[in-house]
Chain A
Amino acid sequence: MNVWNRAASFDAHRGSLRAWLLTSVRNRCIDYLRGRGGRERQERELQPEVAYALSPADPWRDVALSLERTAVRDAMASLPAEQRQVIELAYFGGYTHAEIADMARVPLGTVKGRMRLALEKMGSYLRGRGLVDV
């Protein structure tokens, strides 16, 4: 409902609707996780029904999603390990750059530089694959 209610804030010039949706939901998830205690997070599990298939078999859709997924994963895999790590920890893990610098024991500026380089390389890779409009 939050996403729906914030629909007016979507700006097509800043990116696709899908990217906006996914980013909005990801941010909500990170906010949610950051607001919970670690032990509480430990106890949460996905309900079995979540594993249900999205819809009846649709080969075209499956192929399209698979290509996109492969492109993004390949782009991630193409990064040097230290650059991939900062993206994984920041985006998927919800860590701040300061926390990452502390964990990796590198200066804050190094983390920022790795983030910038990683995103630029991924953008170049994905543009080259022609599957993502970045």
Chain B
Amino acid sequence: MSDHEELESSVAAWVLGALDGDEAETVRSHAEGCPTCREVAAGLRRVVGALPLGVNEVGPPARLRERVLAAAVASRESPALPPAARAVIPRPKVPRPTSLARVGRRMPAYTAAAVALIALLTGIVIGDVAFHAPQSPPASQVARFTLAGHQEMAGAQATVIDLKRDGLVLVDFRGLPPPGSGRVYEVWLIPAKGNPVPAAVFVPDSNGAKVVLVNQSLDGYTVMAVTNEAGPDGSQAPTQQPQLYGNVT
């Protein structure tokens, strides 16, 4: 594989922000002088730009606006600021209804601040609720287990990735049947002695797949199991025998 082919194969990872610093710089430097890679990156970057739009939007708390305005006032005299930043910051406005394809060309600068706040909080939600990004855990701190389906869930399985250092667990479910209207799947952690502890609730996608974050350590638990419970919040105790389970020790 030529250098170009090697670097072009990394362009998608680059625009996703999934390369380490040195690798990212290498690809960026190459793309600057390579029309092919530059074009590929531009196309993929537009898709990546759409990804956060799939996340539920949350509104910023009022105090955040005050903090941003206070920061703007504090930095107003800074010579490093671009002209736009030295302008008086008007009250952020909520963008009018518009299609995504046009919003970028029509959005006035002051609405950018409001959107940035929304996006900031959305990002925090993504980071803190949906996923947690660890700092390159060594392989020894990552354990894998498998959950197997039985009876009506015989075709289902799950891979459990235990990020020990972060106290987080990712569970990659495959082949799940639809839980049924108003029903959800609930993940349980079961200690050697004691009652099952509810760990997560989810609904798989149309392919029966889902990656679920369990926001706690597996320490002290011996089995992970899944039951079908009433939605949207599941149950505090399982109402049926699990048909998808496996050891996590």
Q: Is the CB of A98 within 8 A of B20?
A: yes
Choose from A42, A77, A99 the contact partner of B136 (Cβ within 8 Å).
A99
> Is the C-beta of B174 less than 8 angstroms from some C-beta in chain A?
yes
Interface size of A by CB at 8 A reads: 93
Given A30-B17, A64-B98, A91-B51, also A54-B118 (CB < 8 A): yes
Q: Is the C-beta of B223 less than 8 angstroms from some C-beta in chain A?
A: no
A115 shortest CB reach to chain B, Å: 4
A12 to B75, CA, bound (A): 26
| A interface footprint on B66-77 (CB within 8 Å = 1, 0 otherwise) | 001001100100
B33 at the interface (CB under 8 A from A): no
B48-A94 in contact (CB<8A) = no
A25–B56 CA distance with the chains assembled, in angstroms: 15
Cα(A130)–Cα(B100), bound, Å: 10
Is the Cβ of A22 less than 8 Å from the Cβ of B53? yes
Looking at chain A's contact residues, is the secondary structure mostly helix, strand, loop, or mixed? helix
Query: What 1/0 mask marks residues of chain B from 107 to 146 whose CB sits below 8 Å from any chain A CB?
Result: 1010011011011111111111111111111010010100
CB proximity of A123 to chain B, nearest CB, Å:
4
Docked pose: A65 CA to B10 CA in angstroms:
32
Contact status A7-B47, CB under 8 Å: no
Q: Which of B97, B115, B209 contacts A64 (CB 8 A)?
A: B97
A115 touching B17 in the complex, CB below 8 Å, given contacts A21-B119, A81-B207, A103-B142 = no
Nearest Cβ in chain A — how far from B206, in angstroms?
Answer: 6
- Contact A41–B123 (Cβ < 8 Å): no
- Complex formed: what's the CA distance from A77 to B203 in Å? 13
A selection of 26 A-B contacts at a CB cut-off of 8 Å is A14-B42, A16-B100, A16-B101, A17-B104, A20-B49, A22-B122, A26-B126, A30-B127, A33-B127, A39-B166, A46-B129, A50-B58, A69-B55, A89-B131, A89-B211, A91-B18, A92-B126, A103-B161, A109-B9, A119-B16, A119-B44, A122-B50, A131-B101, A133-B46, A133-B101, A134-B50
